[in-house]
Each structure stands twice: as structure tokens, then as C-alpha cells.
Amino acid sequence: MYAGWKSGLVAAAMALSWAANAAEITGAGASFPAPLYAKWASDYYKQTGNKVNYQSIGSGAGIKQIDAGIVDFGASDMPQTDEVLRSKGQVQFPVVIGGTVPVVNIPGIGPGQMKLDGQVLGDIYLGKITRWNDPALRALNPGLALPDAAIAPVRRADGSGTTFNFTNYLSRVHPQWKANVGEGTAVNWPVGAGGKGNEGVAAFVGRLPHSIGYVEYSYAKQNKMAYTLLKNRDGHFVAPNEESFRAAAAGVDWNRSFYQLITDAPGKDTWPISTATFILMHQQPKDPAKAAEVLRFFAWAFDRGDDAAAALDYVALPDSVVEEIRKSWNRIVDAQSKAISWK
């Protein structure tokens, strides 16, 4: 991603550092990026001998663990405001962009065949629409064979950034949802059964006929789930994919702040529940050497991890954003000076 990283001198210094001291770091949090972090960690270990142990426990738990200093980095799909970060003495930076997608398990209906909009999706999770052949669903899907069967909503049982982005989207497009339920990593769900992590929701929907859930796109694609089309702000029904996630992020001004939400973004090609995923670290880490290794890992990922990200249907950040992220690492006391320069 960043041309300066490719200097032969820096690469040589990097190799010497890796050979001298194998390192091990721990992170925990969002399940949204877990497949990508696992792939990056595997490739990083093969190239460097350094280990990255990441636990997919949900954004809410990841925030708690970095707050308590249990892990070297936390991961969340719900960005922290600048004020909250200052109060905690933390920094955050985005890593990749993806999307949260509704998925259904209805016999005879495949990926991309069903259309939904925010009003109907919210009504399902409010318990107002309870059967698949409801007139509102039939109006969105003329010609689609919708069964006369009860809808079984599935949602997250744990504190989740995926839930935050899903409920943030519904709060933007559905006034009653905003008034009665609102947004957060955990909310008081009117209806539905809970699954733990994106993994749990995907498994739950996969084995429960006539169910609906929401998962990060890579989970839907890898498990060959029937994702839905979703009507965006400009009135177009779009499919979740790299192009629609990228379109949603196109208008984000990362230079202003890393606190950015990209749900319900304008544009005819945008996916309505697009999101970035973030890393949280302490500005004054208890172990600067571990913090430096976290920075080395993500510097490596930004430089060498784009192909893996694309293969798993995440969108890499633009080079200009990555440069701003690297500059922001100077705020992590004693860690940047111990990390190998990326310039």
C-alpha cells in the first residue's frame, strides 16, 4: 500500500529485527475482521516467526479488554469518539472496510434473490412483520415464491460492533426503531434468538429454516448463505460486494478524524450497511515493545495484506489514509521509536 515501505534498506533492517527477536502479541474483539486477522497472522508468522494471537469475542468485549490492559490491542467495529479516546488515553485507527448483510434461510431462495429495505427490515426486528408472505415483503419481491411461514429473527447475543452498525443503520432509516430500540453494541431486542459472534449467527441461520440474521459479508459468502439485496438511500437495490462497500466509503474524510460511520451513505452504488473496523491501543502502553510489535504487524498488513483482504471480500484503505494512520502512531509513547521505520 505504501511505496516508502519497499526501500531495500528498510526491508533489510526489518529482516534483521525479526531474526533477532521473535515476538508474540495478543488482541481481542470484533468478529467482523476475524477471518482476515487470522489469515494475516498466519502469513505474518510464516514470514517473520512472530505470533499474533487474536480472539474473536465481539467488539464490546474487545473494548473492555483493551480498557483493562489485558490485551496488546483491542478491535471494534464501533469506533470510539475522539472525546472517549481522550478520556481513556487511547488511540484508534481503521484497518479495512466491509459490510454487514442480512441473510435468510428460506427453501428455494438463493443469494441476492430477495429484496429488502430499511423499513421492512426494521419491522421484522420490531416484530411487526412476522410472516414471510407479508404484503410488505410481497410488494418488494413480486414474482418471488415467499412461503406462508413464520419469520425466525436471529441477532447477536454478545456485545457487537456488527450489531452497532446494524442498529445504527436502522436508527437512521426507521424512526420507530430509533425511538423504541436505538443503537449500540447491545440493545433490548423486541424479538429474536441470539447467536454469539458472526460465527454463531451464521451457524444459527444456517440450521434454522425460515430465519433471518445479519453477518459480516465474508461469513455470508464463505458459508454460501442467501444474502439479500438492500435498498440504499438513493433508492437503488444493491448487492453487497467490494464495489458497493468502496462506494459507501468514497466520501469519508479520514483526515478530519478516524471516528467515521458510513452506514446509509449517499450514492446509487453504495451498500447501506458498510462499515470500517478499528484497532484500539493505549497511548502510554504498559509494554512499549509489545505495542511496537502491534504497529509492525499492521504496517506489514497495510503493505502486504491487500491480496488476502480482497480474497476475503474486505476493501483495503487508500494509500493516503494509510499514511495518515502511520503518522498517528507517533502518539503512542515509546512504541513508535521502538518500531522499525516505515519510511
Which 3-state string (H, E, C) describes 226-293?
A: EECEEECCCCCEECCCHHHHHHHHCCCCCCCCCCCCCECCCCCCCCCEEEEEEEEEECCCCCHHHHHH
Structural domain spans, the chain: 3-98+276-338, 99-249
Question: Region 182-204: what's the mean pLDDT?
Answer: 95
Residue 148: band (very low, low, confident or very high) from pLDDT cuts 50, 70, 90: very high
Mean pLDDT, to the nearest integer, of 140-168?
95
pLDDT at 16 over 80: no
pLDDT above 70 (res 260):
yes
3-98+276-338 and 99-249: same fold? yes
- What are the pLDDT digits (tens) for 53-105? 999 999 999 999 999 999 999 999 999 999 999 999 999 999 999 999 999 99
Block residue for cell numbers 471494534: 76
Per CATH, which fold does 99-249 belong to?
D-Maltodextrin-Binding Protein; domain 2 (3.40.190)
Nearby residues of 5 by Cβ (< 8 Å), 6 or more positions away: 299, 303, 342
| Integer CA distances (angstroms), 83 to 86, 87, 257, 308, in order | 5, 6, 11, 34
Residue pair 114/101 in contact (Cβ under 8 Å)? The answer is no
Q: How far apart are CA 16 and CA 11, in angstroms?
A: 9
43 conformational bin, left if phi > 0, alpha if psi -120 to 50, beta if neither:
alpha
What pLDDT score does 15 carry? 44
The distance from CA 283 to its chain's CA centroid, rounded to whole angstroms, is: 23
Whether 25 shows a pLDDT value over 90: the answer reads: yes
Question: Which architecture characterizes domain 3-98+276-338 according to CATH?
Answer: 3-Layer(aba) Sandwich (3.40)
* Average pLDDT score over the chain: 91
**What is the mean pLDDT of the segment spanning 118-131?**
98
Task: Please tell me the predicted confidence (pLDDT) of residue 339.
Answer: 52
User: What is the percentage of the chain residues whose pLDDT exceeds 70?
Assistant: 91
pLDDT of the residue at 257: 87
Under the banding of pLDDT at 50, 70 and 90, the label for residue 29 is: very high
In this model, does residue 5 exceed pLDDT 80?
no
Rounded to the nearest 10 degrees, the angle between the axes of helix 319-328 and helix 288-304 is 170
pLDDT tens string 325-341: 999 999 998 765 555 44
Q: Among the listed ranges 168-177, 179-188, 249-258, which one has the minimum average pLDDT value?
A: 249-258
